[in-house]
Amino acid sequence: MSNRQVITILGATGSIGLSTLDVLARHPRHWQIHALSANTDVEGMLELCRQHRPRHAVMASTEAADRLEKALREEGLETLVDAGTQALEAIASAPEVDVVMAAIVGAAGLLPTLAAARSGKRVLLANKEALVMAGNLFMQTVEDHGATLLPIDSEHNAIFQCMPPGYTCGQEPAGVSRILLTASGGPFRERAPETLRQVTPEEACAHPNWDMGRKISVDSATMMNKGLELIEACWLFHATPDRIEVVIHPQSVIHSMVAYADGSVLAQLGNPDMRTPIAHALAWPERIESGVSPLDLVGVGRLDFMPPDPERFPCLRLAEEAARAGGSASTVLNAANEVAVQAFLDRQIAFTDIPRLIEAVMERMPVIEVDHLDRVLQVDREARERAGAWVQRMGRQPA
Ligand code: NAD
Ligand code: MG
């Protein structure tokens, strides 16, 4: 790669954040790290500051920031420490930054990711919740401010790679008839449906193919992840939900496909390792080494495909309904899902309560337009309140 690029990583201590740092460390001459952010993991951030020497580190709370700053100074490290949403927006929009990796999980990532788009950065989008919550607003911001949007989610990165030459996210792709969104089916693809109520957080977080954060692991187990990805794909590739087909592919070797009007179907293949889409988006349109081992197709042996089971995975149906309804429906879906997943991880509700809670909240909130940030945040807040009340009413006491 030619010029040295300056990067901010939002959510640096997470699964995507660490994989990004792993790829960057393989190319030290090409990237300079401006800033790293984390929620509460002071120890994790301290270690990253030791290794990568960012100029700035941002924690979610001042309490965590104070602890980090003290530890850094004791070791003679000069990283500047700050806290809160405004500080996140500042490191995402700083003039010297070229690239922002948006890898905070959940709605907390929306404001800094929007700030990066508003500043015309190259935005590497892992934080799918931002797009599900505020797709219209986000895509409009990208377009208005000339930002470059590159998908990190492995399926969307695969679809992007299979798009016509010169394709820009948000445009309607010429000659494309369908998008085939592949799904592993998660850990419960074959588990007896009547036993799903007893699923524990540990079982839900043990994904057969991918090693990920806890929230997306639970989303994969309910298949809400595929539902969120369906909505994400609608925004990224200017598609209606009926143009997108979800296909179960247990080996996770094909990361998604694009079908063309002439009958051609293009697929992107690789080992299930997020360093491939991360390296692709970092270097795009060039290619760099990522550390991912070569795909051994003979070792894989076979590639299977089957339709998803709507009975077993009601979250997928709820997301499809939200995608079709448009407007605030997916904002509500996302907020209710975040509350439900947290309540499940905290053992307050059962695994099978997750879709029940989301459906109950969606039924009670009318679909409205959400073109402005204030509206998005208001709908998000109301959906969280309703979801929280559902947990209080229907949930069991924490263990
Ligand atoms: P993770 O839980 O491992 O990491 C999340 C990061 O966000 C951490 O650095 C954490 O400190 C930070 N964070 C969490 N809450 C925060 C808050 N309130 N304020 C500020 N920072 C906060 O999650 P992950 O698996 O790395 O996923 C990150 C995003 O990427 C998610 O949106 C996920 O859907 C998406 N994604 C992940 C994968 C994967 O393989 N892990 C694949 C595709 C998409
Ligand atoms: Mg994915």
Cis bond leading into 285, ω under 30°? Answer: yes
Which of 40, 41, 49, 104, when mutated, tests ligand 1's pocket best, judged by the most ligand atoms within 8 Å of its CB? Answer: 104
- Tell how far CA 57 is from the center of its chain: 21
Q: Is the pLDDT of residue 168 over 90?
A: yes
- Return the beta strands (E) in 233-387 as ranges: 244-248, 254-260, 265-269
Give the integer Cα–Cα distance in Å for 249 and 183.
6
Kindly state whether residues 313 and 365 are assigned to the same domain: no
Q: Which long-range contacts (CB under 8 A, 24 or more apart) does 209-217 make?
A: 209/184, 209/251, 209/252, 209/272, 210/184, 210/252, 210/272, 210/274, 211/15, 212/15, 213/14, 213/15, 213/16, 213/105, 214/345, 215/105, 215/106, 215/338, 215/341, 215/342, 215/345, 216/105
Q: 258 in helix, strand or coil? A: strand
CATH label of the domain that carries residue 145: 3.40.50.720
Query: Binning pLDDT at 50, 70 and 90, where does residue 1 land?
Result: low
Tell the residue nearest (CA) to atom 30 of ligand 1: 126
Kindly state whether residues 144 and 262 are assigned to the same domain: no
Residue type, 298: V
Q: Is the pLDDT of residue 61 over 90?
A: yes
- pLDDT tens-digit series, residues 346-376: 999 999 999 999 999 999 999 999 989 999 9
Kindly state whether residues 45 and 182 are assigned to the same domain: no
H-only helix segments in 26-147: 42-52, 62-74, 85-93, 110-118, 128-144
179 DSSP β-pair partners: 244, 258
- Give the other-Cβ count within 10 Å of 393's Cβ: 8
Answer yes or no: is 178 within a domain.
Answer: yes
Kindly state whether residues 307 and 336 are assigned to the same domain: no
Which of 46, 157, 212, 290, when mutated, tests ligand 1's pocket best, judged by the most ligand atoms within 8 Å of its CB? Answer: 212
Kindly state whether residues 184 and 262 are assigned to the same domain: yes
Of 122, 152, 182, the one marking the end of a domain is 152
Q: Which atom of ligand 1 is nearest to the CA of 154?
A: 43
| Distance linking the first and last C-alpha atoms of the chain | 53
8 DSSP β-pair partners: 35, 100
Q: Calculate the dihedral angle through the C-alpha atoms of 90, 132, 218, 277, rounding to the nearest 10 degrees.
A: -70
Burial 132-169 (b: 16+ CB within 10 A, else e): bbbbbbbbebbeeeebbbbbbbbbbbbbbbbbeeebeb
Give the whole-number percent of the chain exceeding pLDDT 90: 95
Average pLDDT over residues 119-145: 98
Query: Binning pLDDT at 50, 70 and 90, where does residue 209 land?
Result: confident
Answer yes or no: is 196 within a domain.
Answer: yes
Q: What secondary structure letter does DSSP report for 155?
A: H
Is residue 232 within 8 A of residue 256, CB to CB? The reply is: no
Kindly state whether residues 186 and 309 are assigned to the same domain: yes
Answer yes or no: is 393 within a domain.
Answer: no
Query: Binning pLDDT at 50, 70 and 90, where does residue 211 land?
Result: confident
Ligand 1 neighbours, Cβ below 6 Å, are 11-17, 38-39, 41, 60, 103-105, 108, 126-129, 153, 210, 212-213, 215-216, 274
Segments forming the whole domain that contains residue 102: 5-152
Q: What is the mean pLDDT of the chain?
A: 97
Give the integer Cα–Cα distance in Å for 60 and 6.
22
pLDDT of the residue at 2? 63
Token pair, residue 120, equals 């015309």
pLDDT of the residue at 363? 98
Residue type, 7: I
Q: Which atom of ligand 1 is nearest to the CA of 127?
A: 32
Q: Is the pLDDT of residue 399 over 70?
A: no
Overall residue count recorded for the chain in this entry: 399
Kindly state whether residues 108 and 241 are assigned to the same domain: no
pLDDT of the residue at 397? 59
Which of 8, 9, 15, when mutated, tests ligand 1's pocket best, judged by the most ligand atoms within 8 Å of its CB? Answer: 15
| Counted domains in the chain | 3
Answer yes or no: is 134 within a domain.
Answer: yes
Token pair, residue 20, equals 């990004």
Q: Identify which ligand lies nearest to the alpha carbon of 15.
A: 1
Q: How far is the CA of 230 from the centre of ligand 2 (A)?
A: 10
Tell the residue nearest (CA) to atom 18 of ligand 1: 108
Of 126, 152, 178, the one marking the end of a domain is 152
- pLDDT tens-digit series, residues 89-105: 999 999 999 999 999 99
Tell the residue nearest (CA) to atom 21 of ligand 1: 39
Kindly state whether residues 212 and 268 are assigned to the same domain: yes
Answer yes or no: is 143 within a domain.
Answer: yes
- pLDDT tens-digit series, residues 101-118: 999 999 999 999 999 999
pLDDT of the residue at 310? 86
Is residue 210 within 8 A of residue 197, CB to CB? The reply is: no
For residue 274, give the nearest of 181, 156, 188, 147 by alpha carbon: 156
Answer yes or no: is 159 within a domain.
Answer: no
Q: Which atom of ligand 1 is nearest to the CA of 40?
A: 11
Q: Which atom of ligand 1 is nearest to the CA of 217?
A: 25
CATH label of the domain that carries residue 375: 1.10.1740.10
Answer yes or no: is 157 within a domain.
Answer: no
Query: Binning pLDDT at 50, 70 and 90, where does residue 331 land?
Result: very high
Token pair, residue 308, equals 């998803």
Kindly state whether residues 229 and 296 are assigned to the same domain: yes
Answer yes or no: is 70 within a domain.
Answer: yes
Q: Which atom of ligand 1 is nearest to the CA of 106?
A: 32
Query: Binning pLDDT at 50, 70 and 90, where does residue 208 land?
Result: confident
Kindly state whether residues 314 and 342 are assigned to the same domain: no
Q: How far is the CA of 177 from the centre of ligand 1 (A)?
A: 32
Kindly state whether residues 203 and 337 are assigned to the same domain: no
78 burial via Cβ count (<10 Å: 0-12, 13-18, 19+): exposed
Give the integer Cα–Cα distance in Å for 104 and 35.
14
Q: How far is the CA of 11 from the centre of ligand 1 (A)?
A: 6
Kindly state whether residues 241 and 264 are assigned to the same domain: yes
